[in-house]
Structure 1
Amino acid sequence: MDETTEHFHSHVEEILDALGKEADREALVYGERRVSAGELRGLVYGMARALRSQGVGRGQTVTLLAGNLPETIAARYAAGLLGCAVNHLYAGLSADVHADILRDVETRALIVDPAHRERAADLARRVPLERVLVLGEGGAGPGPDLVRLAAEESAEVLPGSARPQDICTIRHTGGTTGHPKAICTSFEQWASLGSGRPEEDRVRALVCTTLAHAAGFMADATLRHGGTVVLLDGFEAGAVLAAVERERITHMFLLPPLLYQLMDHPEIDRTDTSSLRVLTYGGCASSPTRLAAAVRRFGPVLNQFYGQNEAGGISVLPPEDHDPRRPELLRTAGKIMEGVEVVVRDAEGRSLPAGERGEICVRSPQVMKGYWKQPELTAEVLRDGWLHTGDIGFIDAQGYLTIVDRLKDMIVVVGGHVYTTELEDVLNSHPQVLQSAVFGVLDANRTERVHAVVVRAPGGVVGEEELRAVVRERKGAMYEPAGITFTDALPLTDAGKPDKKLLRRRALDRSGA
């Protein structure tokens, strides 16, 4: 064991150290609950010991199916302290998809909150799980109560077991067909995230989207620097506005569609949002018109973040560049982040000059280690030391990056990602469906919606609602199309592929967007 490995201090230990410096300060707020830094720290150490007593240890995978609870954060840290890879499931996926993921990542322990105990019991019947643990309810669920087990353990400091190159997170970018597309990052990479200088004033961050996504990173960074995290179960515009005013929220993250819902809520002009210092948004395309309106309402606090699970952060459009008088900047994804290299390449791999469109390729310390158990796909995406993002864009003469399209056939929706080929497979499996094409359509607010065009089999009478029900059952609500239309035949390109660009234009024409 070398000197560096022996003294490695993970991001979890950094957070626990910060919690220990001011044990009485407010760390987490959830409803009427106020959890101090000392209480959270003790719960993490107790949970880590309880997990260890259940046979969980370094190098194993712990999967979470849990909402935005204080115990969810504690369980994430406890697993990380032991050197486990944490895989946090999106709740909106179907039981079949959850089961596929659990099998694929070789889950040692499934940790669920009480709201998901029925799904956990179902999954335990489908997948040979060694451990199912519940975050509360005294063990009334499909396994022991991890919170109660933790209370029986010591809350004293427990040294971390993680090593720099151990897998820290396994993040899935969508549902599965066969092997899931799962992104692996190491503890060494996470140790450098959020390690910048803390803000002088205390951060009070609002988590109103799933901890399994960007909100989890925001929570980690906040606790690492001595701030407070306010947890909501999910996004509801009225509840978010009330929390911002009541808790004097300074930071939060939203996908653009949720930002629009916030602005459109009838209470927006009667809510005091003056405490907001940074409102970060990202994850899908945004409307410059709506962004300009948001700046006028909230002030100079908007901060756009462009990144990928595979690449980490790529670029940022900071508050000072959110100028309603310069809408051309609001169409960009900002400038490249410090420590990140970006080149734009053509189909032959040649670097392109400023202003020319091509595939965005990224090189940085945060680029993933690879896809879980998919070496061929990893080699396809990671070539010559560069991550090929699958996004099409250009960098202008001033250094601003603009995203114009996607090479990847993926639709970004609230709560996750929809892969069109997977949804087409589900639709095509119906005996009365001959063929289908799935694509994303931007509505008037530039929110991406899932649409499908279906060709019925001869004599078929299947309708939209029946197909939606099939999708919900097989893939979960996240995959359910916003609209399904029927046609006699799909238009084809010269290469013989369904012409999705034409189908997308037709859908836009029908919607009047």
Structure 2
Amino acid sequence: MRVTQPLKRNLQQIPEDIATVCGDRSHTWSQLVHRISALAGGLVNLGLKPQERVAIVALNSDLYLETIFAAPWAGGVIVPINYRWSAPEIAFALNDSGTKIIFVDETFSNVVPDLKKLVEHELTVISLDDAFEGYDEIYEDLVSKSTELPEFENHENDISGIFYTGGTTGRSKGVMLTHGNHISNTLQFTAMMETSPDMVFLHAAPTFHIADALFIYLVTHIGGKHVFIPRFDPVLSAQAIQDQKITDVILVPTMIQMLLEMENFANYDFASLQRLYYGASPMPEAVAKDLIGKLPHSKAYHLYGQTESAPLLTCLDSKYHVTDGPFAGRLRSAGRAMPAVELKIVDSEGNECPRGEIGEIIARGPNIMKGYWGQEELTKNTVKNGWLHTGDAARMDEGGFIFISDRLKDSTSWHSGAISTFGLVPQVIAC
């Protein structure tokens, strides 16, 4: 299982279908795969070796997707960087992971001179746009001058990506996710959700976050279409949904509320929007009522997980998104375990709690991380006998639905108030 394998299948089966749309630019699967393989060749020419790291700090774009796939296509490991981090925070991740190549777009080019000083090894900077101070290569030049590279034969236990968490205490942790982790969570998703090659997905949430990255792999796996806007904005999102006939998007409840309450909402056509996924917190009843009233044809799904689980652990199905009737109480739930995920609530001694009693969520399955980069002891304390200890306090009812109540420790839960699905929600909205 390799995250790049679906690219080859799409090239074989649907080469002329549109794969990516970003502004006025679009690429077919044939064009996309050729660009990715050429970019991978450029990375190897720059000295990239198998399992070496490649970072990116940038807004959402089709080039971000190409980079996510080019790194493992060349045998490397992608390291998406939180673009809200300061230069010292980015430098920490680069030093910690030993990353020697980083892609940067013009928006964040101002950090490059500082990175060159703070990073403890030679750093090659690839500009996604035009030249800026401290750059070494231009993205499009690298693609055009490089020879296409055959796909590297990664194994399912090889690391595909290192996703750094923005923990509320202590140092940031690099979560090592394998090819098998990503593919497993993709298959778990498709086993539970309605998916088809007709999916047109809007990347409005930041792609550096595992929540949106999941859909990079998923939409590619099913041969759907990726549509990118630089970052969440209610008007840009509504315009994209209308113009590109978006069928699916993932947001947080605050973003959904902003979308529903924006001026001139009624002037946009949302008829194509079939599914709306969200995380970070349960959907407030007032927002749910507004959603049902304004987008009655759209199905909502609450997703819960952690970076450490690549990321999904549970899902609350759309039929439970109601404010009255026998299912009304489910709206506060984070749902039930995904296929192939074992999940239980345990006490401080590791004993399973009776239904309704609060304890810690632990889970195991093929999507659980390989570990924390360079932190073996922390890995042992977090994954015990194959079980991921999430640090989330919750109860489980008789139907297997979990209701999260608090945090037991610092980690990267989507659901906690401390760390939301896409980082701290107010910061996302401010961007």
Q: Is TM (by shorter chain) over 0.5?
A: yes
Aligned to 2:397: 396
Go from structure 1 to structure 2 and tell me whether the alpha carbon gap of 1:333 and 1:17 turns closer, same or farther (over 3 Å shift).
same
| Count of residue pairs brought into register by the alignment | 413
Q: Could you tell me which residue of structure 2 aligns to residue 412 of structure 1?
A: 419
1:84 and 1:162 in contact (8 A); partners too: no
Cα pair 2:22 2:228 within 8 Å, conserved: yes
Equivalent residues of 2:167, 2:410 under 8 A apart: no
Q: Does 1:246 align with 2:243?
A: yes
Map of 2:122 onto structure 1: 129
**Alignment match, 2:348:** 347
1:221-370 matches, within 5 Å, as 221-299=218-296, 300-311=298-309, 312-325=311-324, 326-370=327-371
Unaligned runs of 5+ in 1: 1-8, 418-447, 450-476, 481-513
Question: For the residues of structure 2 that align with 1:215 and 1:100, how far apart are their CA atoms?
Answer: 23
Q: Which amino acid aligns with 1:348?
A: E
> Partners of 1:98 and 1:173 in 2: how far apart?
12
Q: Shift in Å at residue 187 of structure 1?
A: 1.5
**Gap change, CA 1:94 and 1:294, over 3 Å in 2:** same
Aligned to 1:81: 73
Bigger mean CA deviation after superposition, 46-55 or 29-38: 29-38
- DSSP 3-state at the match of 2:85: coil
Amino acid at match of 2:60: N
AA partner of residue 136 (structure 1)? D
Q: Secondary structure at the match of 1:189?
A: helix
CA contact (8 A) 2:242 2:268 kept: yes
Native 8 Å contact 2:196 2:224 kept in 1:
no
| Secondary structure in 2 matching 1:158 | coil
Tell me the amino acid that sits aligned with residue 369 of structure 1: K
> Does the Cα contact within 8 Å between 1:100 and 1:176 map onto a contact in 2?
no
Indicate the percent of aligned positions where both proteins have the same amino acid.
26
* In structure 2, C-alpha distance between the alignment counterparts of 1:191 and 1:361, rounded to whole Å: 21
Shift, 1:211, TM fit: 0.9
Check the 8 A contact 1:104/1:180 in 2, yes or no: no
Segments of 4+ moved more than 6 angstroms: none
1:376-395 residue CA offsets vs partner (Å, 9 max, x unmatched): 21111112321111101111
Q: TM-score under structure 1 normalisation? A: 0.76
Instruction: Report the CA distance between 1:414 and its aligned residue.
Output: 7.0
Partner residue of 2:32 out of 40, 59, 64: 40
Amino acid at match of 1:395: M
What SS does the corresponding residue of 2:308 show, helix, strand or coil? coil
CA-to-aligned-CA distance 1:48-91 (integer Å, 9 cap, x gap): 00100000121101111122121111111110112212110010
User: Are 1:146 and 2:153 an aligned pair?
Assistant: no
Shift of 1:140: 7.2
Is 2:226 the partner of 1:219? no
> Alpha carbon RMSD of aligned pairs, Å?
2.2
Q: Which has the higher contact order (CA 8 A, sep 6+)?
A: 2
Q: Classify the secondary structure of the residue corresponding to 1:366.
A: coil
Query: 2 CA distance for matches of 1:121 and 1:19?
Result: 39
> What secondary structure, in the 3-state scheme, does the structure 2 residue paired with 1:403 have?
strand
Distance 1:302 1:343 in 2: 25
**CA separation of 1:200 and 1:150: change in aligned 2, threshold 3 A:** closer
Supply the AA of the counterpart residue of 1:399: G
Matched to 1:134, the amino acid is S
| CA shift digits 1:352-405 (9 cap, x unpaired) | 111111111111111111111111211111123211111011110122111111
Letter in 2 for 1:145: I
Q: What's the CA shift string for 1:179-201, capped at 9, x where partnerless? A: 53111111222233324478446
Q: Give the gaps of 5 or more residues in structure 2.
A: 412-417
SS of 1:221 mapped into structure 2: helix
Which structure would you say has the larger Rg?
1
Change (3 A) 1:390 1:208: same
User: 1, 11, 14: which is aligned to 1:22?
Assistant: 14
Equivalent position of 2:414 in the other structure: none
Instruction: Please identify, of 303-312 and 114-123, the stretch whose mean Cα deviation from structure 2 is larger.
Output: 114-123
